[in-house]
DNA sequence: ACACTGACCTGCGAGC
DNA sequence: TGCTCGCAGGTCAGTG
C-alpha cells in the first residue's frame, strides 16, 4: 500500500543509496512487469546511470543519461539493494546489476507493479491525467470547489481519484476524512466551503507529517529490510477497532469498492 | 461526461 | 489438519 509519503521516502532513500550508480545489466524475470518490450527495456538501461530521483503522485521517476525510468509499486512493490551473492526469491521480478556486486532488486508478491522507459526530457505534469500534487499550491480549496462541480461521488471516491489529486490511497483517504469529521460516504455535492478547506488543509497536514515520519526511517535503513519507509503511521481510524477520540466502535463500509473506516460519532 | 465493475495477482485468515 | 473462499487494493479497460 505505498501511497505518496511512502513513495517519497523510497525515492529519497534510493537517491542516497544509488545516485550516479551505473546499470551493468538488467534481468527481467517477469516480462509483464514491463510496459512495452522487456528486452528493449533492458537494452535501453545498460550503461545508464541513475542521475536524478523524483516522484509524481505514486510514480517513481529516475532520470538516467539518455532515458527516464518510471516505476509504480502498486500495492506491494518494494526495492531492495542487495549483494548479488544473496539468493533470489520467487517474488524478485526485475534485477538491476550495479558495480561492486551490488544489485537493485524489485520485489512484488502480487506482480501488480509496473515499469517503463520514457524519453529523458519527458514532462510528467499531465502524465496519465494526474491531478495536482496535494502538497503544491495548485491543490487548494478553489481548485477543489471547481473540480467537484457537477460531481456527486462519495468523498472517499473523490480522494482516491488520481485526476483530482495525485498520490492519495485508501489509508490516507480514510485518515484525511477522519481529521475533517466527514464520513467517507458523504457526497461531494453535499459539503460546505468550510469542509472543502478542511479537506485540503488536512490532506496537506497528514501527508507532510507522514513524509516527516517516513523520512526518519532513512537513517535506520538496512538493505535486508528493503527500501520501504514507515507504513501506516499513527492511524486514527484505518483498520482501528475504536475511535481514539470518543471510544466509539469504528465502522467499516465498502465505498467505491474499497473498505472504508470511520467513526460514526465523530464523522458526519 | 460520469459512475460503476471486473481483471490483474498472490498470500493469508476465516470458516467448515 | 486440510480444504475452499473471500479479501486486500492501485489502476485501467470495459460497460451502462
Rg, chain A, Cα only: 20
Instruction: Provide φ and ψ at A226, rounded to 5°.
Output: 85, 160
- Residue in A3, A6, A8, A175 annotated catalytic: A3
Binning pLDDT at 50, 70 and 90, where does residue A226 land? low
Strand B contact at CB of residue A74, distance < 7 A:
no
- Residue in A230, A253, A258, A264 annotated catalytic: A258
Please determine, for residue A63, whether its predicted confidence score (pLDDT) is greater than 90.
Answer: yes
Nearest to A71 by CA among A98, A208, A166, A79: A79
Strand C contact at CB of residue A104, distance < 7 A:
no
Strand B contact at CB of residue A152, distance < 7 A:
yes
Res A219: pLDDT: 38
Please determine, for residue A222, whether its predicted confidence score (pLDDT) is greater than 50.
Answer: no
Q: Is A258 a catalytic residue?
A: yes
Residues 247-266 on chain A lying near strand C, CB distance under 7 A: 252, 254, 257-259
Strand C contact at CB of residue A112, distance < 7 A:
yes
Whether the Cβ atoms of residue A221 and residue A153 lie closer than 8 Å to each other: no
Res A212: pLDDT: 87
CB neighbour list of residue A42: distance below 8 Å, 6 or more residues apart: A25, A26, A27, A28
How many angstroms separate the CA atoms of A154 and A184, rounded?
A: 6
pLDDT in tens, A69-96: 999 999 889 999 999 999 999 999 999 9
For strands A258-262 and A67-72, give the pairing.
Answer: unpaired
- In chain A, what is the straight-line distance between the N-terminal and C-terminal CA atoms, in Å? 27
Distance of CA A73 to the CA centre of its chain: 7
- A33 CA vs C3 C1’ separation (Å): 32
**pTM reported for the whole predicted model:** 0.93
How many angstroms separate the CA atoms of A72 and A46, rounded?
A: 20
Res A241: pLDDT: 83
Strand B contact at CB of residue A213, distance < 7 A:
no
Amino acid at each position: 500500500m505505498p501511497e505518496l509519503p511512502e513513495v517519497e521516502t523510497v525515492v529519497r532513500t534510493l537517491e542516497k543509496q544509488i545516485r550516479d550508480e551505473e546499470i551493468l545489466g538488467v534481468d527481467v524475470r517477469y516480462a509483464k512487469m514491463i510496459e512495452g518490450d522487456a528486452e528493449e527495456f533492458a537494452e535501453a538501461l545498460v550503461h545508464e546511470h541513475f542521475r536524478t530521483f523524483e516522484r509524481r503522485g505514486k510514480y517513481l521517476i529516475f532520470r538516467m543519461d539518455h532515458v527516464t525510468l518510471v516505476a509504480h509499486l502498486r500495492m506491494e512493490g518494494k526495492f531492495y539493494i542487495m549483494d548479488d551473492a544473496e539468493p533470489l526469491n520467487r517474488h524478485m521480478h526485475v534485477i538491476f546489476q550495479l558495480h561492486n556486486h551490488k544489485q537493485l532488486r524489485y520485489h512484488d508478491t502480487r506482480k501488480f507493479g509496473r515499469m517503463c522507459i520514457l524519453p529523458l526530457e519527458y514532462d510528467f505534469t499531465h502524465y496519465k491525467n494526474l491531478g495536482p500534487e496535494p502538497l503544491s499550491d495548485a491543490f487548494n480549496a478553489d481548485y477543489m470547489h471547481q473540480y467537484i462541480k457537477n460531481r456527486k461521488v462519495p468523498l472517499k471516491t473523490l480522494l482516491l481519484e488520481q485526476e483530482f489529486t495525485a498520490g492519495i490511497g485508501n489509508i490516507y483517504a480514510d485518515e484525511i476524512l477522519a481529521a475533517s469529521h466527514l464520513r467517507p460516504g458523504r457526497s461531494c455535492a453535499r459539503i460546505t466551503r468550510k469542509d472543502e478547506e478542511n479537506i485540503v488543509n488536512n490532506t496537506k497536514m497528514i501527508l507532510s507529517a507522514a513524509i516527516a515520519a517516513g523520512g526518519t526511517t532513512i537513517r535506520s535503513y538496512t538493505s535486508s529490510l528493503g527500501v520501504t519507509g514507515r507504513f501506516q503511521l499513527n492511524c486514527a481510524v484505518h483498520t482501528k477497532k475504536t475511535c481514539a477520540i470518543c471510544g466509539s466502535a469504528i465502522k467499516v463500509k465498502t465505498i467505491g469498492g474499497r473498505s472504508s473506516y470511520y467513526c460514526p460519532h465523530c464523522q458526519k
